């Protein structure tokens, strides 16, 4: 009898471990192109051309950064300025004249989302930039981003990220079905779970400093993403930990590594 119980326990343990390892094997880290796929394609970062390159590569997602002008128009750009013209302190008459290095106009969020809407394979990972003007500016930008995404009917392919915790909470409140990830790296899995956000998109050094966090977030049902990972060693380490997404300037390298 005792032998039978032991055998049954061993079988349960064994089948459990088989299920677990099968799950681990089924899990595949997904590729997010950081500011589009620009580095190996010779197009400017955050351009519509870079978004199209990320779509061509069939990246799971393509990330981009959004600011709001002084007259409340939304533009896609990483820095607060484009060659010295600050987006937050200028209006559309000035900003619409600005060109990226490939001749493309500085993209408005509207033009960018309309380009992204032509397909369904690559998700639009919208970073709401924290304002240098005021918290009110950041929150107004967040509201306008959610409204624009809904107006253009791209909600089903859009995710949100921000370094500003209040912005993340506001977006989650306005759009509960959307995935909203926090970027700063200063909040624990328990705090993020309690906040109602969907997870985090932290610098990879945060996951290095907290080696149990990828699993800790996952156990709480939260999403994990790491930025900006360009070397194969860090990519492989995060993939082995079962991270959900890796954000990279080298999407081609990560795609090859995942093959
Ligand atoms: Mg960004």
Q: Where are the domains of the chain?
A: 30-202
The pLDDT confidence band at residue 177, using thresholds 50, 70 and 90, is very high
**Chain center to CA of 213:** 18
d(CA 99, CA 45): 13
* Ligand 1: centre distance to CA 123 (Å): 15
Give the bridge partners for 128, in sequence order.
66
Interacting residues of 130 by C-beta distance below 8 A, sequence separation 6+: 138, 162, 163, 164, 167
Mean pLDDT of 197-212: 98
Please report the pLDDT score of residue 22 as a whole number: 41
Name the least confident of 15-24, 186-195, 197-206, 248-257.
15-24
Reference 61, options 122, 127, 120; nearest CA is 122
- Which two three-digit tokens encode residue 96? 């619409």
* Ligand 1: centre distance to CA 159 (Å): 13
Reference 201, options 223, 220, 218, 179; nearest CA is 223
* Ligand 1: centre distance to CA 222 (Å): 20
d(CA 259, CA 186): 33
d(CA 140, CA 104): 27
Please report the pLDDT score of residue 27 as a whole number: 72
* Ligand 1: centre distance to CA 66 (Å): 8
What is the number of other CB atoms lying within 10 angstroms of the CB of residue 81? 15
- Which two three-digit tokens encode residue 119? 């397909």
* Ligand 1: centre distance to CA 160 (Å): 11
CB atoms within 5 A of ion ligand 1 belong to 65, 127
- Which two three-digit tokens encode residue 69? 């002008």
Give the bridge partners for 227, in sequence order.
203
The pLDDT confidence band at residue 26, using thresholds 50, 70 and 90, is low
d(CA 149, CA 247): 22
Global pTM value: 0.90
d(CA 68, CA 66): 7
* Ligand 1: centre distance to CA 228 (Å): 9
- Is pLDDT at 25 greater than 80 in this prediction? no
* Ligand 1: centre distance to CA 210 (Å): 22
* Ligand 1: centre distance to CA 82 (Å): 15
d(CA 230, CA 234): 8
Q: What percent of the chain has pLDDT over 70?
A: 90
What is the number of other CB atoms lying within 10 angstroms of the CB of residue 255? 16
- Is pLDDT at 15 greater than 90 in this prediction? no
- Which two three-digit tokens encode residue 22? 């099968």
* Ligand 1: centre distance to CA 127 (Å): 5
Mean pLDDT of 191-211: 98
* Ligand 1: centre distance to CA 133 (Å): 18
- Specify the CATH number of the domain 30-202: 3.20.20.190
Q: What's the 3-state SS for 17-80?
A: HHHHHHHHHHCCCEEEECCCCCCCCCCCCCCHHHHHHHHHCCCCEEEEEEEECCCCCEEECCCC
* Ligand 1: centre distance to CA 78 (Å): 6
- Say whether 226 sits in a helix, a strand or coil: strand
- Tell me what the pLDDT averaged over the chain comes to: 92
Mean pLDDT of 182-191: 98
* Ligand 1: centre distance to CA 1 (Å): 62
- Is pLDDT at 142 greater than 80 in this prediction? yes
* Ligand 1: centre distance to CA 179 (Å): 16
- Is pLDDT at 43 greater than 80 in this prediction? yes
Q: What percent of the chain has pLDDT over 90?
A: 90
* Ligand 1: centre distance to CA 50 (Å): 14
* Ligand 1: centre distance to CA 23 (Å): 31
* Ligand 1: centre distance to CA 126 (Å): 8
- Helical H runs in 27-108? 48-56, 92-95
Contact, 222 vs 203, CB < 8 A? no
d(CA 217, CA 127): 21
* Ligand 1: centre distance to CA 4 (Å): 58
């Amino acid at each position: 009898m005792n032998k039978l119980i032991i055998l049954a326990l061993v079988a349960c343990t064994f089948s459990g471990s088989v299920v677990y390892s099968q799950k681990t094997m089924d899990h595949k880290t997904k590729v997010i192109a950081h500011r589009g796929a620009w580095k190996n394609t010779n197009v400017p970062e955050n351009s519509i051309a870079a978004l199209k390159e990320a779509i061509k590569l069939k990246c799971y997602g393509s990330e981009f950064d959004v600011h709001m002008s002084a007259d409340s128009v939304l533009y896609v750009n990483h820095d607060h300025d484009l060659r010295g013209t600050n987006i937050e302190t200028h209006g559309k008459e000035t900003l619409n004249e600005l060109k990226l290095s490939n001749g493309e106009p500085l993209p408005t969020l509207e033009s960018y989302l309309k380009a992204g809407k032509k397909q369904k394979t690559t998700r639009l990972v919208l970073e709401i930039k924290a304002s240098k003007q005021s918290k009110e500016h950041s929150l107004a930008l967040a509201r306008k981003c959610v409204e624009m995404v809904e107006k253009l009917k791209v909600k089903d392919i859009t995710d949100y990220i921000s370094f500003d915790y209040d912005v993340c909470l506001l977006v989650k409140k306005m759009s509960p079905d959307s995935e909203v990830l926090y970027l700063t790296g200063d909040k624990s899995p328990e705090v993020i779970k309690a906040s109602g956000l969907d997870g985090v998109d932290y610098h990879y050094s945060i996951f290095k400093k907290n080696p149990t966090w990828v699993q800790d977030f996952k156990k709480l049902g939260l999403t994990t993403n790491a930025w900006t990972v360009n070397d194969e060693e860090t990519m492989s380490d995060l993939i082995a930990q079962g991270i959900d997404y890796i954000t990279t300037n080298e999407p081609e390298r990560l795609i090859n590594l995942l093959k």
